[in-house]
Amino acid sequence: MKSLPTVDRFSFKGKRALIRVDFNVPQDKSTGAVKDDTRIRAALPTIQKVLNDGGSVIVMSHLGRPKGRREEKYSLAPVRQRLSDLLGREVLLAPDCVGPEVETLAAGLQPGQVLLLENLRFHPEEENGDRHFASQLADLGDVYVNDAFGAAHRAHASTAVVAGFFPSDRKCFGYLMATELANANRVLHQFTRPFTAIIGGAKVSDKILILERLLERADHILIGGGMAYTFFKSLDGNIGKSLCEDDRLEVARQLLESARARGVNVVLPADSITAVEPSNEAQTGICPSHQISDGYMGLDIGPQAIKEFRDVIVQSQTLLWNGPMGVFEFEPFQAGTRAVAEAVAEATDRGAFSLIGGGDSVAAINRFGLADRVSFVSTGGGALLEYFEGKSLPGVEAILGS
């Protein structure tokens, strides 16, 4: 694997770096204050590198879904405040992301100064990948840096199209993007066996492509969460009113068939925690996952499944985990996800490489306080999934392409 072009290749002295970051942070609904600044912190090393070199920084991001027009609740003003606090220096907020006023502000930047552009998605041209809009962004900086792994699967103006306006020696990845890619590549291309993928979450339909790709590599695939019940139904099991995608039964059957043909060990949860519906007060029961009574749902993997999953996980050398094992938002259905998180941490302690990716498994590992005991927690949900599905990421190709 070629080494990736990163900010380390440049001295930014006297240069303006145009950095695409992912500052799409959770906010307090009433005050707009930043509730979790993980994504802002993740971009700091790249910004600091430019500033330490004696350059200036123009940061751009989207926030929420403002649908192509200005809406104050999607302003990056609260992000400006937090970024300024974290950097320990003033951050200017531009009134927009393109236009004469922004051009004047960018042109006047002195070394050490940071300018945050207003929400890119105030303009429909951003998501449309408009070339003129991208060229206006490109005019603001001397070097383009993409550090927005979370948006790398989008062919938007600021994530991909803009890079076309910079020659190959004036564009590169930020540290976050490079680290994300290096860790994903390690699992995809440099894994050591046994390689176990743990795939959970709600829907089979979201995970078909990644499962197909994993069949080419993994030794074991552990399937939990709501998606497991489509597999049980495809094997003629009784799943009560568990989550099921009836239009995916054939796909599920074929996935199991091709796993058998390839010698990949697919493990479905032997038993389930059941209830009439998910709630914190639910009366729960335990039963084999293919014998769930009418009117009941499988809402977490059961104790037998936990034991079987654990045995595989702790003996693995490479682990990829995407998606919770149950409706872990409710306390009665947390045990499976927690046990998997603990087993992944234990395997990592013993020397395995573990990558956790995809929104809800990341939330789970954080909730259980185990994020420091796994090898890498990815910040890119959709982007990571698409990378593992074997799709090329427009944000990555735009840097590597020419």
Tell me the backbone φ, ψ of residue 220, rounded to 5 degrees: -130, 140
SS3 146: strand
Q: CB of residue 201 vs ligand AMP: minimum separation in angstroms?
A: 2
Tell me if 212 contacts ligand AMP by CB under 6 A. no
Tell me if 299 contacts ligand AMP by CB under 6 A. yes
Q: CB of residue 360 vs ligand AMP: minimum separation in angstroms?
A: 4
Instruction: Pick the closest to residue 354 from 367, 365, 369 (CA basis).
Output: 365
Tell me if 226 contacts ligand AMP by CB under 6 A. yes
Q: CB of residue 114 vs ligand AMP: minimum separation in angstroms?
A: 34
Q: CB of residue 202 vs ligand AMP: minimum separation in angstroms?
A: 4
The contacts of residue 33 (CB under 8 Å, 6+ apart) are 27, 78
∠ CA(347), CA(353), CA(358), 5° rounding? 100
In Å, the largest CA–CA distance within the chain is 69
Residues of span 90-149 touching ligand AMP by CB under 6 A: none
- Strand 285-288 to 291-292 pairing: unpaired
Q: CB of residue 10 vs ligand AMP: minimum separation in angstroms?
A: 38
Between 327 and 370, name the residue whose CB sits nearer to ligand AMP. 327
Answer yes or no: 359 catalytic. yes
**Element housing 152 (H / E):** none
Cα gap 83→31, rounded to integer Å: 17
Q: What is the CA radius of gyration of the chain?
A: 23
Between 55 and 226, name the residue whose CB sits nearer to ligand AMP. 226
Between 171 and 248, name the residue whose CB sits nearer to ligand AMP. 248
Site string for ligand AMP, 236-275 (x = CB under 6 A): -------x--------------------------------
**Would you say 27 and 138 are in contact if contact means Cβ atoms under 8 Å apart?**
no
Cα gap 46→42, rounded to integer Å: 9
Instruction: Pick the closest to residue 373 from 396, 385, 357, 356 (CA basis).
Output: 356
Q: CB of residue 170 vs ligand AMP: minimum separation in angstroms?
A: 38
Between 203 and 253, name the residue whose CB sits nearer to ligand AMP. 203
Catalytic residue of the set 16, 39, 80, 207: 39
Q: Which residue is nearest to ligand AMP (CB)?
A: 201
Answer yes or no: 382 catalytic. yes
SS3 51: helix
**Terminal Cα distance for the chain, rounded:** 17
Amino acid residing at 307 = K
Tell me if 357 contacts ligand AMP by CB under 6 A. no
Tell me if 197 contacts ligand AMP by CB under 6 A. no
Tell me if 298 contacts ligand AMP by CB under 6 A. yes
Residues that bind ligand AMP (CB under 6 A): 201-203, 206, 225-226, 243, 298-299, 323-324, 326-327, 329, 358, 360
Catalytic residues: 39, 203, 359, 382
